Amino acid sequence: MATSALWQGEGGCGDLAAVRVGVQCSFLGKRVVLQEKEWQHILSRHRYFRDPDMEAALMEAIRNPRCITDNALPGVKVAYYGAAPPPYRPTDLVKVAVLVKRRVGIVLTAHHETSVPPKEVVLWGTRP
């Protein structure tokens, strides 16, 4: 998915950042973006995200989440849980942590889990 474009940073980002892909989140009413530098960060920690299906699943988790949680820690961060793509099991989840700014949400991290930690408060959807 090569949809790089220049995007004027908003809501405190304050710089020009290359956006790899953006998704409209109906829950937050904001555009959630995956910046190129954050994507490289994710790849440096979880190299298997290089698989194009993984990137698509990550954005699909934001577009079509199973549940959205609040991590109740400093900084407004929400986590989107969506279905993990093959080779993962259908019950496995892809978790995408998003930093919520004034006008946009910025993807911070992503990885796969089997369940939602109990301390995370479910904002929307049902706890898998």
Partner 1 sequence: MGDAAVSADRSRPIVAPANNEEGARHGQAQIYRLRKPGWRIIPDRRADAIYLRGPNSDGPTISYWLPEQPLILLCLDLYSGELVGVDITEIKELARTDPIWRKALAGWAITGLLGRIPLLRWIARRQAEAVGGRAKEQAQKLTPASA
Task: Using CB under 8 A, list all residues that contact partner 1.
Answer: 41, 44-48, 50-51, 71, 73-74, 86-89, 91-92, 97, 108-109, 111-115, 117-119
The residue among 16 and 117 lying less far from partner 1, judged by its C-beta, is 117
Q: In angstroms, what is the minimal distance from the CB of 111 to partner 1?
A: 5
Choose among 26, 27, 9: nearest CA to 18.
Answer: 9
Are 63 and 23 spatial neighbours (Cβ–Cβ below 8 Å)?
yes
Q: In angstroms, what is the minimal distance from the CB of 58 to partner 1?
A: 13
Q: What backbone phi and psi angles, to 5 degrees, belong to 9?
A: -60, 140
The residue among 83 and 108 lying less far from partner 1, judged by its C-beta, is 108
Q: In angstroms, what is the minimal distance from the CB of 24 to partner 1?
A: 24
The residue among 41 and 66 lying less far from partner 1, judged by its C-beta, is 41
Q: In angstroms, what is the minimal distance from the CB of 53 to partner 1?
A: 9
Query: Cα(6)–Cα(17) distance, rounded to whole angstroms?
Result: 6
Query: Which tokens in the block code for residue 68?
Result: 């959205």
The residue among 16 and 24 lying less far from partner 1, judged by its C-beta, is 16
Per DSSP, 85 falls in state P
Strands 104-113 vs 30-35: parallel, antiparallel or unpaired: parallel
Are 39 and 52 spatial neighbours (Cβ–Cβ below 8 Å)?
no
